[in-house]
Amino acid sequence: MSVTADRPARPARRAGRSRLGRRRRRAGLLLSLPAILLVGALLWAPIGQAIRYSMTSWNGYSAPVWIGPSAYTAALKDPIVHRVLENNALLLLAVPVAIGLPLIIAALLNEHVRGWRFFRSAYFLPTAISWVVIGMVALQFFAANGILNRLLADIGLGSVHSDMLASEYSALAALALTFIWSMIGTNTIIFLTGMATLDPSLIEAARVDGLNRWQIFWRVTLPLLTRFIQFAFVITVISAFSALFSLIFVMTGGGPGLGTTTLEFFVYQAGFAQGQFGTGALYGIILFVIMIIVGIGQLRLIRHEDGGGW
């Protein structure tokens, strides 16, 4: 776009242009410098440091002791690390639900029945409140004498009385359920935006062809939403792996045992609760590598989509 805009003026005042060009480039460099410094110093440089720390044994005070890359092989053989990675893998099971439910909700909203704007606002409202607040209410929900058990008693299922936060896997399930609830607003909005971009005549054509609502959703709407579903998938996985610190902190503190300690919480525990800076940094790098894989996956999906004729 900018090339065509420049063209008419260029031959006439070449000298003035190039001086202007130099001024423009200098201004560009100057104006982008603050962002480069901020992001470089506080986000990129620490990655290098973290890699260095990760190969040492260091408590933050005395001199670090160099271990080298064998720190990684040792960590990857550690059964405790396996347990933590297992928690991360189990959390992934929540992702399809955290995408599927909002898809259905968005489809319902997209029918535009009376009051749908109010419903949309209400569903999105929880995205405004903190994980700390969500965790605090979730704690009361799953507690032994909490909301869930009272509800069960009210409908005559008092015998199912559960204390989900008291044992390892059920605590993780409680965490996952809370996470799913929290993602509903964000993902619903993503899908709703996606549905608004669809060409209504396609839906109309499918209806004329005799497809019912359910078939239209599966055969027409869903395939057209692929890009939005990928985006929601990446956001959800990133949140599951790197946004749940506060929820875990408030709801379970990582327990019982290692029941709800995910990689991100493990970094905090090793680094700050136990003062093992080297080990904490190492877990952080493992998390970073997982994120890169998710990110690259997303990039490839997008590029694939672009090649497919947009």
Partner 1 sequence: MTAKSAPVPISPPVAAPPGVPAAPARPWRAARRRRRVTAIVIFAIMGVIVIVMLFPFWYMAENSFRNQSQFDQQAGHSLAGWTQLFKELPVVQELVSSTIVCAAAIALILVVATTAGFAFAKLRYRSSGLVFLLIVAAMMVPLQSIIIPEYVNLARFHLVSNYGGAVLVYAALGAPFATFLMATYYRGISDELIEAAVMDGLSYERTFLQIAIPLSLPAIATVTVLQFIQIWDDLLVGYLFLPTNERTITVGLAVLSSGRTTGIPPLMAGSLLSAIPAIVVYLIFQRYLIRGLTLGMGK
Q: Quote the least distance from Cβ 57 to partner 1, whole Å.
A: 13
Classified as helix, coil or strand, 164 is helix
The yes or no reply on residue 155 touching partner 1 (CB under 8 A) is no
Q: Is 25 in the site for partner 1 (CB under 8 A)?
A: yes
Closest distance of CB 48 from partner 1, Å: 8
Contact status: 166 vs partner 1 (CB under 8 A) = no
The reply to whether 193 sits near partner 1 by the rule CB under 8 A is yes
DSSP 63: P
Considering the rule CB under 8 A, would residue 18 count as an interface residue with partner 1?
A: no
Q: List b or e across 15-35, with b for residues whose CB sees 16 or more CB atoms inside 10 angstroms.
A: eeeeeeeeeeeeeeeeeeeee
Among 123, 142, 179, 233, binds partner 1 (CB under 8 A): 123
Three-state SS at 65: strand
Chain residues 230-259 in contact with partner 1, contact rule CB under 8 A: 231, 238, 241-242, 245-246, 249-250, 253
Least Cβ distance, residue 176 to partner 1 (angstroms): 16
Any contact of residue 93 with partner 1 (CB under 8 A)? no
Which parts of 49-88 interact with partner 1 (CB under 8 A)? Answer: 49-50, 53, 60
Interface with partner 1 (CB under 8 A), residue total 103
Shortest distance (Å) from residue 255 CB to partner 1: 12
**DSSP type of residue 144:** T
By CB under 8 A, tell whether 185 contacts partner 1: yes
CA-wise closest residue to 216 among 84, 106, 301, 107: 107
CA dist list (Å): 132 to 70, 129, 136, 244: 37, 8, 6, 10
Residue 274 DSSP symbol: S
Site for partner 1 contains 100 (CB under 8 A): no
Q: Cβ closer to partner 1: 72 or 119? A: 119
Among 66, 169, 218, 272, binds partner 1 (CB under 8 A): 272
Q: Where are the alpha helices (DSSP H) in the chain?
A: 2-6, 14-39, 45-54, 70-77, 79-92, 94-109, 116-124, 131-142, 147-154, 168-196, 200-208, 213-216, 222-224, 226-242, 245-251, 263-268, 277-307
Per CB under 8 A, 128 contacts partner 1: yes
CB of 198 to partner 1, least distance (A): 14
Residue 219 · residue 213 · CB < 8 Å: no
